[in-house]
Structure 1
Amino acid sequence: MALEKLEIEVEGVFLPLKVLFNPEQIQINREGWSQQNGQLVGQNNPSTLTINLFFDTTLPASTSLLTNLVSEAVPSFLLDGWSKYRPEDVRNHTQQIYNLTRKQGKNRPPFCKLTWGRGNVLLSRGFLKSVTKSLTHFLEDGTPVRALLNCTFEEVLDPELEIRIQNPIDDPVRTVKRGETLSSMAMEEFNDPALWRLIADANQMDNPRRLVPGQQLTVPPLRIDRTSGRGA
C-alpha cells in the first residue's frame, strides 16, 4: 500500500500540491471564550493550523518534479537511474507553496484545502497567512537542496455555516416535492448531499429511494464539526 501524502488543494490549480515528507506534528489553535468585565463572552474566531513541511532533494524518498509527473508510466529501473543525478534545487518544490502568500490578481488570497489520506480533511477552507522558509543545506555551488517551511493557515469562516450552527434547522418538518431525493434534500438543508443518511435514519426509512410527493419527513439538527465544516 502506497504511503499517503499530505496534499494542499489550491483554488484554481488543477493538481494538488503534495509534500515530499509528511509532517510529524500539526498544531491547530482556536480562541473561544474570553472574560470581559467578569463576564464570559463567546467568540466565533477562525482557527489556525500550523505545520512544518520538510523538503530534501538529496534523500531517496524525494523524487524530481519530472519523476512526480511520470513515475507511473516509466519503468522503475529508469527511475533508479535518475536518482544518481545531481540533486535538484529544493525551491522547485517549495516555491509553489511559498507563492500562496502573494497577491495574484484577486482582492483575497487563494483558498486552500488540506487533506491527508482519503476523507481526512485537516482544513476545509483557509488561506496561507504566513510562511517562514529556511534553507538549511546547499551544494558546493550554493544551490539549496534542503528546506523547512513553517506554515500557518487560517480558517475562512462561512457565514451560512455559522448561522446553521446557531440555528441548525429552520423547520424540522419537510414535505417531499416531486423529483426530490434525499441527496437533494441534504444538499439544501446541510449543504452536503452525502449527509442524506441522516434524514433516512431520522425517519426510519428502509428504502431511501422510495419517496412519495406530499410525504412529510423529519429533518434532524446537524452537529457541525468546525475543523472540517462537515456534519457530525
Structure 2
Amino acid sequence: MALEKATIDIVSGSKAGNRIAVLFNPTDYTIERSNSYKTTSIPGLSGPLIHFINGEADVLSMELFLDDYTDAPKAGRKSVRERVDELAGLLEIDNDQHAPPIVRFVWGKLSFTAIIEKMTRKFLLFQPDGVPSRASLSINFKEYRTLPALLTNPRLQSGDKSKRRVIVAGDSLWLLASREYHDAALWREIAEANDLDDPRDVVAGDWVLVPPLENADGPLGRL
C-alpha cells in the first residue's frame, strides 16, 4: 500500500488552492477540546456557581520534521529553509482577506479545516555555511467553522422569551437566574419584572415571571 502524504491545503486568500506537501508525515498528533465556564460567587454558599458559556474550537497539535540530509533537495524541490518559510508564511496576514489564510490539514481520513494558531520553529542541524538543513515545527491548528456551521444545531430554548416558573423548596431568585440566564447576578431582572423589593420575598409555590434579557438593540438571548 502506497504511503499517503499529509498535506496542508490553503482554503482562502490570494493563495487559495495551493497545496503544501508535508516532507515527513507526523509520528503522532493530538486533538484537544475545551469549554469556557464562568463562576459566580453567591454569599452563604460553600462554593461558586458554575455556568457554561460556550464551547471552544478543537485544536490539532503536531510536530513536523524537515531534513535535507535524509531527503536532500533536488532540482525543483525546496530546501528546509524554503519549506520552513513557506509554512511560516501561513501565519502572515493575507492582503485579500486582511487576516491569515484558512487552511485544511489532510492526512488519510483526517480533514481538519483551521487557522494556524501557533508555530514554533526549531533548527537542529546546519551546513558548514550556516544554512539550516534540519528543523522541527510544532504547529497548533485551531478549528475554523463558519457561522452557518455553528448554527447547524440551534438551541431550542433561550433567555429571549418570557417564561413563568414556580418556586420550589430551597429555591431563590439567584438560583432561578442561574438556571434561566446562566448568570446568578441577573436575579435583579427577575425581581424587577415581579415588583419584588426584597429577593427573599418568594416562597415555595409562588409563580414568577422570567423576562427576556434586552439591550438597546432588541432582545439579547443568553444561555
TM-score after normalising by structure 2: 0.58
- After TM superposition, give the deviation of residue 166 of structure 1 in Å: 2.6
The residue that corresponds to 1:23 in the other structure is 26
**In 1: Cα distance, 2:130 partner to 2:72 partner:** 20
Q: Give the aligned residue type for 2:30.
A: Q
Q: Give the aligned residue type for 2:24.
A: F
**In 2: Cα distance, 1:19 partner to 1:111 partner:** 17
**In 1: Cα distance, 2:128 partner to 2:36 partner:** 53
The residue that corresponds to 1:5 in the other structure is 5
Per the alignment, in what secondary structure is the counterpart of residue 160 of structure 1? helix
Asked if 1:146 is matched to 2:97, the reply is: no
Per the alignment, in what secondary structure is the counterpart of residue 161 of structure 1? helix
Q: Give the aligned residue type for 1:163.
A: L
What's the CA shift string for 1:155-205, capped at 9, x where partnerless? Answer: 12221112112369xxxxxxxxxxxxxxxxxxxxxxxxxxxxxxxxxxxxx
Does the aligned pair in 1 maintain the 2:36–2:56 contact within 8 Å? no
Equivalent position to 2:114, from 126, 129, 144: 126
- After TM superposition, give the deviation of residue 13 of structure 1 in Å: 4.0
Q: Give the aligned residue type for 2:85.
A: Q
Per the alignment, in what secondary structure is the counterpart of residue 54 of structure 2? coil
State percent identity of aligned pairs. Answer: 24
Per the alignment, in what secondary structure is the counterpart of residue 146 of structure 1? strand
Asked if 1:58 is matched to 2:76, the reply is: no
The residue that corresponds to 1:219 in the other structure is none
The residue that corresponds to 1:211 in the other structure is none
> Is the alpha carbon distance of 1:132 and 1:65 closer, same or farther for their aligned partners in structure 2, counting shifts above 3 Å?
farther
Higher helix share: 1
The residue that corresponds to 2:56 in the other structure is 45
Equivalent position to 1:98, from 73, 76, 88: 88
- After TM superposition, give the deviation of residue 93 of structure 1 in Å: 1.7
Does the aligned pair in 2 maintain the 1:31–1:43 contact within 8 Å? no
- After TM superposition, give the deviation of residue 146 of structure 1 in Å: 0.1
Q: When the two structures are aligned, how many residues end up with a matched partner?
A: 144
Per the alignment, in what secondary structure is the counterpart of residue 150 of structure 2? helix
Unmatched segments (≥5 aa) in structure 1:
69-87, 169-232
> Is the alpha carbon distance of 1:31 and 1:65 closer, same or farther for their aligned partners in structure 2, counting shifts above 3 Å?
farther
**In 1: Cα distance, 2:79 partner to 2:152 partner:** 47
Does the aligned pair in 1 maintain the 2:92–2:99 contact within 8 Å? no
**In 2: Cα distance, 1:128 partner to 1:113 partner:** 10
- Across the aligned residues of Structure 1 and Structure 2, the Cα RMSD in angstroms comes to 2.3
Does the aligned pair in 2 maintain the 1:89–1:143 contact within 8 Å? no
Per the alignment, in what secondary structure is the counterpart of residue 50 of structure 1? strand
Which of these two proteins has the greater Rg computed from alpha carbons?
2
- After TM superposition, give the deviation of residue 19 of structure 1 in Å: 0.9
Higher strand share: 2
TM-score after normalising by structure 1: 0.56
